[in-house]
């Protein structure tokens, strides 16, 4: 369950005065560049440069070996035309779609025909949704289309709020209207847009919406782009491409119809030669270690899946292992699997890699599925550093001895990307096929774990960290850690996942948890470090008095907002002179000041606005087996100064 995109999610008709705002996901530090107009800098703030073919991610991304994938790349270039301006490159996981698209983009740029590109990914923050798609394409067009930047600057000045509008409005304002004002010779202008990994845009509705956007770009009368899209053949995507809208203008290229054996053969020969030159054991590796027979076995096992070949290379090239012995293990484990499904050999290889000696299967299973959960999390948690995405933080969050995660994964670098330091990256799988493997009980075997088990584990660890913080109040300085922040932010999300409307049973830590703790933690984080402890103490005191007043109120109509895990407004009937309205008003005055929730700290020169939605939940509303009326929660908290 995703966290709310912002604390004012779906809010309306409110005013905020004299306030300071930061983007909830990324804080941008953009200084005026005399070479770029301010509107272009504003556009840049809403772009995702990491999605382009020239990003830092692209620099280190796998690429096609010279001399490989020539036929399919040539077919993409020759098939796309004014009659069929859309080409859909369809293929299974591990087929090399991204490498192909990067090579198509590279060649088009070399020929002066590349207009823009966008590479979706679930493993890179902010690349798994449609939010920045139009802005990113528009920014690239300022670099590739003569005269476009000047027209766009005027459009941005005329429509300052365009980035708060829908994607369709952005498309019209940022691309279609500016193009209509240009006189462009289509024969000499770049027209190709490459889009990779459309299936890695997580929301199926957004996938379909993006395809409609691409249709508009390919058919608009002012400047008809040619678009190459690659993805897995997922149902929603297949349906749109074969429908009335895109079917007539789309050419389909299916990677499974191409024999990639020779390309994989070239790749393996080059990589085995590299391992022999660079491996610590290179002196003991004979020149003939990759025999023709062994090469053909590996090529056959790959079945045109580059992910199999690349995983074999990473496993055998592990500097901690003898490559000759590793090669023998690969050949033995993939011998006559007897399974007919297309990923049988890849699964066998994964099982070999994921069962190193002297590693507890239970521990490995727990860690793998924790990473799997992180990989599917709302990207904002990872961008802002609010998730335990590094080995040391994982150890702390899961209650493991320091170094446990690194020791467990030390021989798994062929399938897991492990950051060396706090570099802005987080631990993740090299390829999405590993996520598919772990989610299938049939494929993963003893490494499979139901989502419910993972969610319960995370919920209990969140409660542990919050309870530990609560127990330490008054015994030392206020500790602000990534794991505490994650726990306060996501405990309700995982509570909702494990209950799903059912009574919570079995987990003693969760049944006896005081849900006001994470609210106080998050509110305290917003104070200055020196004031966090006193703020926490004041909030707990306020909650205590408020709880006593709420006992005089009859509650009904409690509901939970499933999309965010936050509590919605609980209607109540007033049963005394100090009923709900009176107690809430008292709480606002006591906690946030009497001036319309606004208080100016003396001498600070700043004022803060607090948007507080107080929610009252009874035991029956949250399905907790508790009798006390103590589930008092904020639905949202903005910046405040008590």
Determine the length of the chain: 642
SS3 assignment, position 598? strand
Residue 382's domain spans which residues? 361-449
Structure tokens at 532: 């966090």
Q: Does the structure show a pLDDT above 90 at 22?
A: no
The lowest-confidence range among 76-90, 92-106, 187-201, 415-429 is 415-429
Q: CA-to-CA distance for 507 and 423, rounded, in angstroms?
A: 36
Q: Are residues 326 and 402 in the same domain?
A: no
Split at pLDDT 50, 70, 90, the class of 596 is: very low
Q: CA-to-CA distance for 282 and 279, rounded, in angstroms?
A: 5
pTM of the complete model? 0.63
Average pLDDT, the chain: 76
Longest CA pairwise span in the chain (Å) = 91
Q: Which residues contact 316 (CB under 8 A, 6 or more apart)?
A: 272, 275, 323, 326, 327, 330
The larger pLDDT score, comparing residue 62 to residue 571, is at 62
Q: Judge whether 7 lies within some domain.
A: no
Q: Are residues 434 and 529 in the same domain?
A: no
Q: Judge whether 372 lies within some domain.
A: yes
The larger pLDDT score, comparing residue 25 to residue 242, is at 242
H or E stretch at 416: strand 416-417
Q: Are residues 236 and 186 in the same domain?
A: yes
Tens-place pLDDT, residues 298-335: 998 888 888 899 999 999 999 988 999 999 988 887 77
Q: Out of 404, 421, 449, pick the residue that ends a domain.
A: 449
Q: Are residues 319 and 280 in the same domain?
A: yes
Strand bridging mode 86-90 / 250-254: parallel
Q: Are residues 65 and 180 in the same domain?
A: yes
Bridge partners of 195? 118, 229
Split at pLDDT 50, 70, 90, the class of 419 is: confident
Residue 146's domain is classified under what CATH number?
Answer: 3.40.50.300
> Is the backbone of residue 613 left (phi > 0), alpha (psi -120 to 50) or beta?
beta
Q: CA-to-CA distance for 450 and 497, rounded, in angstroms?
A: 12
Closest CA to 371 of 468, 439, 277, 301: 439
pLDDT score for 260: 87
Q: CA-to-CA distance for 602 and 424, rounded, in angstroms?
A: 37
Q: Are residues 128 and 213 in the same domain?
A: yes
Split at pLDDT 50, 70, 90, the class of 583 is: very low
Structurally, the chain folds into a number of domains equal to 4
Q: Are residues 330 and 397 in the same domain?
A: no
Q: Are residues 308 and 380 in the same domain?
A: no
Q: Judge whether 474 lies within some domain.
A: no
Q: Does the structure show a pLDDT above 90 at 580?
A: no
Q: Judge whether 491 lies within some domain.
A: no
Q: CA-to-CA distance for 617 and 192, rounded, in angstroms?
A: 55
Q: Judge whether 173 lies within some domain.
A: yes
The larger pLDDT score, comparing residue 523 to residue 277, is at 277
Q: Does the structure show a pLDDT above 50 at 628?
A: no
Q: Out of 257, 279, 314, pick the residue that ends a domain.
A: 257
Q: Judge whether 424 lies within some domain.
A: yes
pLDDT score for 478: 62
H or E stretch at 229: strand 226-231
Q: Are residues 248 and 112 in the same domain?
A: yes
DSSP class of 200: G
pLDDT score for 338: 57
C-alpha torsion angle, residues 346, 348, 349, 350 (rounded to 10)? 90
Q: Are residues 229 and 266 in the same domain?
A: no
Provide the strand spans (E) within 488-640. 554-555, 572-573, 598-599, 608-609, 614-617, 631-634
Closest CA to 98 of 61, 127, 71: 61
Q: Out of 353, 381, 416, pick the residue that ends a domain.
A: 353
Q: CA-to-CA distance for 185 and 156, rounded, in angstroms?
A: 25
Q: CA-to-CA distance for 557 and 262, rounded, in angstroms?
A: 65
Tens-place pLDDT, residues 87-137: 999 988 778 899 999 999 999 999 999 999 999 988 777 889 999 999 999
Closest CA to 338 of 327, 329, 347: 347
Q: Are residues 234 and 292 in the same domain?
A: no
Among 414-423, 567-576, 631-640, top mean pLDDT goes to 414-423
Q: CA-to-CA distance for 8 and 97, rounded, in angstroms?
A: 39
Q: Judge whether 438 lies within some domain.
A: yes
Q: Are residues 340 and 424 in the same domain?
A: no
Closest CA to 91 of 254, 263, 240, 211: 254
Among 250-254, 411-415, 577-581, 591-595, top mean pLDDT goes to 250-254
Q: CA-to-CA distance for 166 and 152, rounded, in angstroms?
A: 18
Q: Judge whether 116 lies within some domain.
A: yes
Q: CA-to-CA distance for 79 and 146, rounded, in angstroms?
A: 26
């Amino acid at each position: 369950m995703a966290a709310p995109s912002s604390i004012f999610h779906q809010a309306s008709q409110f005013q905020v005065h004299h306030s300071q705002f930061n983007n909830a996901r990324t804080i941008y530090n953009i200084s005026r560049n005399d070479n770029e107009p301010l509107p272009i800098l504003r556009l840049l703030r809403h772009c995702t440069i990491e999605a382009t073919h020239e990003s830092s991610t692209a620099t280190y991304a796998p690429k096609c070996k010279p001399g490989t994938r020539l036929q399919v790349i040539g077919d993409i270039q020759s098939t796309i035309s004014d009659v069929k301006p859309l080409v859909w490159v369809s293929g299974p996981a591990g087929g090399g779609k991204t490498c192909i698209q990067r090579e198509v983009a590279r060649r088009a740029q070399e020929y002066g025909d590349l207009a823009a590109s966008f590479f979706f990914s679930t493993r890179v923050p902010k690349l798994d949704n449609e939010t920045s798609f139009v802005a990113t394409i528009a920014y690239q067009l300022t670099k590739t289309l003569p005269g476009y930047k000047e027209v766009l600057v005027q459009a941005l000045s005329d429509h300052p709020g365009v980035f708060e509008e829908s994607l369709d409005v952005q498309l019209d304002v940022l691309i279609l209207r500016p193009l209509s004002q240009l006189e462009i010779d289509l024969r000499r202008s770049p027209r190709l847009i490459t889009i990779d990994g459309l299936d890695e845009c997580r929301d199926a509705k957004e996938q379909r919406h993006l395809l409609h956007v691409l249709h508009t770009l390919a058919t608009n009368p002012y400047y008809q782009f040619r678009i190459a899209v690659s993805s897995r053949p997922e149902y929603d995507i297949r349906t749109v491409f074969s429908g009335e809208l895109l079917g007539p203008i789309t050419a389909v290229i299916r990677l499974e119809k191409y024999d990639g054996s020779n390309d994989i053969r070239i790749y393996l020969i080059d990589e085995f030669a590299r391992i022999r030159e660079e491996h610590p054991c290179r002196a003991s590796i004979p020149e003939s270690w990759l025999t023709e027979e062994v090469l053909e076995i590996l090529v056959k096992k790959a079945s045109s899946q580059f992910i199999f070949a690349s995983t074999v290379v990473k496993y055998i090239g592990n500097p901690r292992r003898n490559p000759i012995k590793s090669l023998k293990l690969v050949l033995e484990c993939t011998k006559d699997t007897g399974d007919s499904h297309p990923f049988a050999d890849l699964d066998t290889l994964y099982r070999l890699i994921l069962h190193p000696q002297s590693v507890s299967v239970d521990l490995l299973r727990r860690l793998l599925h924790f990473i799997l959960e992180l990989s599917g999390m709302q990207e904002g948690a990872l961008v802002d550093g609010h998730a335990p995405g590094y080995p040391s933080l994982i150890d702390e969050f899961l209650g493991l001895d320091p170094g446990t995660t690194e020791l467990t994964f030390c021989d798994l670098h062929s399938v897991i990307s492990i950051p060396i330091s706090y570099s802005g990256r987080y631990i993740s799988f090299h390829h999405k096929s590993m996520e598919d493997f772990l989610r299938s009980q049939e494929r993963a075997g003893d490494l499979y774990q139901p989502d419910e088990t993972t969610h319960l584990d995370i919920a209990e660890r969140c409660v542990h960290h919050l309870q530990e913080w609560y127990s330490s109040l008054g015994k030392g300085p206020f500790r602000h850690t990534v794991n505490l922040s994650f726990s306060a932010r996501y405990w309700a999300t995982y509570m909702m996942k494990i209950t799903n409307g059912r009574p919570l049973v079995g987990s003693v830590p969760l049944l006896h948890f005081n849900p006001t703790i994470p609210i106080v933690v998050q509110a305290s984080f917003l104070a200055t470090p020196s004031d966090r402890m006193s703020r926490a103490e004041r909030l707990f005191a306020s909650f205590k008095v408020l709880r006593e007043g709420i006992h005089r109120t009859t509650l009904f109509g409690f509901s939970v907002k499933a999309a965010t895990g936050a509590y919605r407004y609980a209607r109540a009937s007033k049963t005394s002179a100090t009923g709900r309205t009176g107690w809430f008003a008292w709480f606002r005055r006591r906690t946030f000041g009497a001036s319309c929730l606004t208080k100016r700290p003396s001498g600070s020169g700043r004022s803060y606005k607090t948007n507080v939605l107080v929610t009252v939940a009874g035991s029956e509303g949250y399905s907790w087996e508790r009798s006390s009326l103590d589930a008092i929660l904020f639905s949202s908290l903005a910046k405040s100064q008590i």
